[in-house]
């Protein structure tokens, strides 16, 4: 029960990484606010967790919505200990329009940044204000491997995630300057098997071949699982990581470490 008596808010928690973090936090003793714009799946996740979770519709781009939900949490629980800014989009959800630096539209660029960056800015802003009540807390921003390297076909996504990485450090330093025990760290996943991948992986006999193709440059030669990201999010939320702030943790199967040869069979 590493998060016993803590109150957590997680954005984009209706599926994927956010869902896994919500379930992991509840299993560790936290009360979890499952938030998303996906009403149907958000309610399903909260109901699956049970009495230690509540679903609240939250559009992370809406500042008033952030103000309202954090005020409500403080009124109800008297504290907000953990905020995970997980909600994000690739820009390819509705259509596969070009997102390279030459052909991306300004509208598409702004749309991705509005969710991925503005949403994180607002999440951090209102987390800090709410955490002033106790003077402590943990803010965890979900960035990406794409925030550390360039992605030619997803320029807006890579740009937004790089900005999340750096804003995390600004928040960490600001809270330290304020004399608050509020920590802010970022997680950088890559090749995590979430619903985002399903259209590309397909089904049937080609699925395994497609999966192998997408992870062939990953030293561990497999996809990561959302639960593996959630495990790191638990650690960053727990008191055991109280000396970590402004840090970034890669969960990428070794991609950023370099290349590795194909494992040889033991003789």
Helix residue ranges, H only, 14-154: 16-27, 39-49, 63-77, 106-113, 119-131
The neighbouring-strand residues paired with 54 are 33
Q: Phi and psi for 183 in degrees, rounded to 5?
A: -100, 150
End-to-end CA distance of the chain: 44
Tell which residue, 171, 8, 29, has the closest CA to residue 84: 8
Question: In 3-state terms, what secondary structure has residue 43?
Answer: helix
- C-alpha separations of 260 from 11, 137, 144, 266 in Å: 35, 39, 21, 17
- Pick the catalytic residue: 25, 33, 126, 157? 157
C-alpha distances out from residue 232 to 31, 176, 252, Å: 18, 22, 12
The SS3 of residue 137 is: strand
174 is catalytic: no
- Tell me, rounded to whole angstroms, the distance of Cα 103 from its chain centroid: 27
In sequence order, the 6+-apart residues with CB closer than 8 A to the CB of 261 are: none
> Within 10 Å of residue 179's Cβ, how many Cβ atoms?
8
**Which residues are catalytic, by number?**
157
């Amino acid at each position: 029960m590493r998060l016993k008596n803590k109150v957590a808010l997680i954005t984009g928690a209706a599926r994927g990484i956010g869902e896994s973090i919500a379930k992991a936090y509840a299993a560790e003793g936290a009360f979890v606010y499952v938030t998303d714009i996906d009403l149907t799946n958000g309610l399903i996740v909260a109901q699956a967790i049970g009495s230690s979770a509540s679903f609240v519709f939250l559009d992370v781009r809406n500042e008033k919505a952030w103000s309202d939900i954090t005020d409500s949490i403080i009124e109800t629980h008297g504290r907000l200990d953990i905020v995970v800014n997980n909600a994000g989009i690739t820009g390819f959800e509705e259509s596969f329009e070009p997102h390279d630096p030459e052909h991306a539209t300004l509208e598409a660029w702004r749309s991705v940044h509005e969710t991925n960056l503005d949403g994180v800015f607002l999440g951090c802003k209102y987390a800090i204000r709410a955490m002033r009540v106790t003077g402590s807390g943990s803010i965890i921003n979900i960035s990406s491997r794409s925030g550390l390297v360039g992605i030619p076909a997803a320029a807006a996504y890579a740009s937004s995630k790089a900005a999340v990485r750096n804003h995390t450090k600004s928040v960490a330093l600001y809270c330290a300057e304020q004399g608050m025990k509020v920590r802010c760290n970022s997680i950088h996943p890559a090749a995590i098997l979430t619903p985002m991948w399903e259209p590309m992986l397909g089904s049937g006999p080609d699925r395994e071949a497609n999966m192998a193709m997408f992870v062939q440059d990953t030293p561990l030669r497999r996809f990561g699982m959302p639960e593996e990201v959630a495990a790191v999010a638990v650690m960053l939320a727990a008191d055991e990581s109280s000396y970590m702030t402004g840090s970034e943790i890669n969960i990428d199967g070794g991609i950023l470490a370099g290349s590795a040869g194909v494992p040889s069979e033991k003789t």
